[in-house]
Structure 1
Amino acid sequence: MTTLDAASLTASAEATADPARPSRALAARRWFLVAAPVLAGAFAVVGAYADPAAGIMDDRLFKIYAENPGPLQFKSLGFHWAYAFWIAPALLVAGYVKGRGAWLANVAAFLGFVGMTTLPGLLFLDWYDSAIGQLYGVEGVTAVNDRMTETMWGITAFTVPGMLGFVLALPLAACALWRARLVRWWAPVSVLAGFAAFTLSNVMWWGCAITTVCFAVFSVALERATRPRLG
């Protein structure tokens, strides 16, 4: 009799539970999606602030990286996670887009996949450049990079998908959400504004801070778009 009563109580509890209420696991997945754009901006600020050669693009960069391996590691790790969180939403929003915008969401997810699997890992090259520069000087770094570029086509095959994923995945995902009428027009605009601040500032810390603010606006749109629909 006790066993039957316990089984009846369990069945009754399951029957009366709200089926529309998301599980904690699904809620955690949703909040990771919502937080990812802000985390991307925050890690970009860390990377840009720690970069000992911020704003420098010529051979002086290799010399500075060779002389400053400590802050360089924070720079590279910061941008590694910035790019990862930057691309992650393109993979995660696809499941929310049904009907209008679904194919666009598929394209964004594919670009997100090729970007996620290539671009963040490229930051490891900073440490190679620094070590080569410490041992063989700037000429050594330049010679190695030139040799790789001249003799290995795989470098282009590796980097181009990463850059395409970085540039296109998040904006296309935002446009897919807008086309599905899950977000307003200002959601994709905030993504484009954040990317513009990132690039036009030459990836300086203040530009990354503006990116973080813009991406926070997009996170608000994501939170609204992914709320569980009850009833």
Structure 2
Amino acid sequence: MNTDTFYRRAAGASLLLAPVLLLLALIVDPTPQSGQAEGVAYAADPAGAGLTATLLHYCWLLLVPGVLGMLAGVRAGGPGSALARAAAVLAVPGLVSMAALPMVDFFESAAYRRLPAERAGELLDAAYQPAVIFGWQLPGLAGTLLGLVLAGVAVARARQAGWWLPAGTAAGLALFLAGARSGTLLLSLSGPVLLTITFGAVGLTLLRPPTATPAPAL
């Protein structure tokens, strides 16, 4: 197996696995199952909270090679090449930031186990300084959302996939966020299911031997 084939298959496997991990993270999350507030639910089931955080961490992390492998098929100077570069600049730091954010779940679980719920909530609120919000949360969320959708548009513009790719990516992410904000588990799960179908289709394409060797876009 040559180097190009290895990276292509690694990217394809990452695109297949990442949304499945997101789906599993939502399924094992103790919060919707218990009907309690997140911190209280995490304190009651620290193992479940830790598993959820770990699955989320690797979901966002695996999307980094997946997106870069997907964008590698966009030819430099061709349709979508500028969008591919913008997508990489947004998605890579965004996804890395998103991968780091679930670490707070371990501290939330520990705080609610050791302190009264009101005191634990005050402690966690005090930790959310402007640097956390503007240096981690917002860049992670905005970079991930915009980067993934732009990556889909770039690949579609380069005719490496149909327009179902950016449409499925945008719809899957929107459903996931809407479900997370509303606390509706079924709505939350529908997002990762759609992303599994969308990214899985691209992942399977990358796992197949290419008909021609594309020039890298970045």
* TM value normalised by structure 1: 0.77
Asked if 1:68 is matched to 2:51, the reply is no
Would you say how many aligned residue pairs link Structure 1 and Structure 2? 204
Q: Which amino acid aligns with 1:85?
A: L
> Looking at CA atoms only, which structure, 1 or 2, has the larger radius of gyration?
1
- Report the secondary structure of 1:194's partner residue: helix
The aligned residue for residue 7 of structure 1 is none
| One of 19, 24, 30 as aligned partner of 2:8 | 30
The aligned residue for residue 198 of structure 2 is 214
Q: Percent identity between the aligned chains?
A: 24
Distance 2:44 2:100 in 1: 22
**Residue-by-residue CA offset, 1:158-195 (whole Å, 9 max, x unaligned):** 21111112211111111111112222222222222322
**Residue-by-residue CA offset, 1:77-128 (whole Å, 9 max, x unaligned):** 1111112223443333443322221111111111122113311111110000
Higher mean C-alpha displacement, 178-187 vs 158-167: 178-187
The aligned residue for residue 216 of structure 2 is none
| One of 151, 154, 157 as aligned partner of 1:179 | 157
CA RMSD after TM alignment: 2.6
- Report the secondary structure of 2:72's partner residue: helix
| Displacement of 1:228 | 4.3
Distance 1:106 1:221 in 2: 21
Residues 56 and 185 of structure 1, relative CA distance in 2, 3 Å threshold: farther
**Residue-by-residue CA offset, 1:1-45 (whole Å, 9 max, x unaligned):** xxxxxxxxxxxxxxxxxxxxxx53221210122222221111012
Whether the 8 Å CA contact 1:80–1:123 is kept in 2: the answer is yes
Residues 40 and 48 of structure 1, relative CA distance in 2, 3 Å threshold: same
| One of 85, 92, 102 as aligned partner of 1:123 | 102
Q: Which amino acid aligns with 1:96?
A: G
Whether the 8 Å CA contact 1:69–1:130 is kept in 2: the answer is yes
The aligned residue for residue 155 of structure 1 is 132
* TM value normalised by structure 2: 0.81
Distance 1:35 1:193 in 2: 22
The aligned residue for residue 120 of structure 2 is 141
Aligned counterparts, 1:61-100, within 5 A: 61-97=38-74, 98-99=76-77, 100=79
- Greater than 6 Å deviation, 4+ residue runs: none
Distance 2:34 2:140 in 1: 22
